[in-house]
Copies of this chain bind each other. A is one copy, B any other.
Amino acid sequence: MSTVAKAISLLEVLGRGAPETALADLAGSVGFDKATTRRLLVSLIAQGLVEQDEGTRLYRLGAGLTRLALMREAQFPFLRMAVPVVEALAAETGETVHLSEYSKRGLISVHVVESTKANRVSVSPGDVLPMHATASGIAFLAFAEERVRAAVLTGPMPAFTPFTIGDAATLAEHIAAARGRGHSIGSQGLEEGVISVAAPILGADDVAIGAIAVAAPRVRTAKSDVERHGVGVIAAAREIGERLFGRRPGRKQA
């Protein structure tokens, strides 16, 4: 295992769980020696990616991460371009809308606008969405590179509910259907009682780079609502693609 992989896994562990973590807990969680863990932390602190409370000696993620993320956003303004569209769709549908971006580890939820209704679906920014168990994942896969799609189809497909798709054949069907329709429909794959509709956000080469989804409680989602959401996410995804890659003068509509 490379040293940088170890260091980054420390960041992951610091990000999960409590805001601040003690050295011993951290070492236990990642399985490195106490001394090793600390040396890695010292390196990360020197770079500003980790901070240590002077008093309690606890470790937490550092502002350097925010800085790097902001620099990335400056180079590729995904949030700046997409967030207004997400908000418009949330206002239009009255349901929770979330936006995700592809990464090696999975689809990362990068922005969420929750429904204002009492009974609503909740998603946390930073969460990784499983490809096979979410509408976003299926929509993404329908327009992803063949290599990525194949990896998911041959990989493990853990069940989160009794409804989670668990075999490659069924998943392939859903993917094909999504490709045909332009949007995917996820029914209780990750959480029971939730129906999601998602569309892929396409990059300059028409390969998916992320997804946008409407997630609503099943009890108030009629078939007509699903169709309406499908139209909405496709339009929103296209709008985001246009704003990002300038295929058309992306006109903002609040």
A-side residues, CB < 8 A to B, are 2-5, 7-9, 11-12, 15-16, 18-20, 40, 43-49, 51, 54-55, 60-76, 101-105, 108, 110, 124-126, 128, 145, 205
Other-chain contact of A46, B5, B15, B76 (Cβ < 8 Å): B5
Other-chain contact of A75, B3, B19, B110, B205 (Cβ < 8 Å): B19
Residues in B whose Cβ lies below 8 Å from that of A18: 75
Docked-complex contact B7 and A110, CB < 8 angstroms: no
Docked-complex contact A103 and B70, CB < 8 angstroms: no
Within the complex, the shortest CB–CB distance from A46 to chain B, in Å, comes to 7
Q: How far is the CA of A40 from the CA of B12 in the complex (A)?
A: 18
Q: How far is the CA of A124 from the CA of B71 in the complex (A)?
A: 9
Copies held by the complex:
2
Among the interface residues A15, A45, A60, A64, which one has the most CB atoms of the partner chain B within 10 A? A64
Within the complex, the shortest CB–CB distance from A68 to chain B, in Å, comes to 5
Docked-complex contact B4 and A66, CB < 8 angstroms: no
Docked-complex contact A5 and B47, CB < 8 angstroms: yes
In the complex with contacts A19-B75, A71-B126, A74-B124, A103-B43 CB distance below 8 A: no
In the complex with contacts A15-B75, A16-B71, A64-B105 CB distance below 8 A: yes
In the complex with contacts A43-B2, A66-B101, A15-B71 CB distance below 8 A: yes
Within the complex, the shortest CB–CB distance from A97 to chain B, in Å, comes to 17
Among the interface residues A8, A54, A68, A102, which one has the most CB atoms of the partner chain B within 10 A? A68
Other-chain contact of A68, B11, B19, B124 (Cβ < 8 Å): B11
Residues in B whose Cβ lies below 8 Å from that of A70: 69, 110, 125-126
Residues in B whose Cβ lies below 8 Å from that of A145: 54
Residues in B whose Cβ lies below 8 Å from that of A40: 4
Q: How far is the CA of A54 from the CA of B207 in the complex (A)?
A: 11
What are 18 pairs between A and B in contact, CB < 8 Å? A4-B4, A4-B44, A8-B49, A15-B68, A15-B72, A15-B75, A18-B75, A45-B104, A48-B104, A61-B68, A63-B110, A64-B108, A65-B68, A66-B72, A66-B73, A66-B110, A73-B125, A74-B125
Among the interface residues A47, A69, A105, which one has the most CB atoms of the partner chain B within 10 A? A69
Residues in B whose Cβ lies below 8 Å from that of A71: 15-16, 61, 126
Q: How far is the CA of A220 from the CA of B122 in the complex (A)?
A: 47
Docked-complex contact A72 and B67, CB < 8 angstroms: no
Within the complex, the shortest CB–CB distance from A249 to chain B, in Å, comes to 15
Q: How far is the CA of A171 from the CA of B40 in the complex (A)?
A: 35
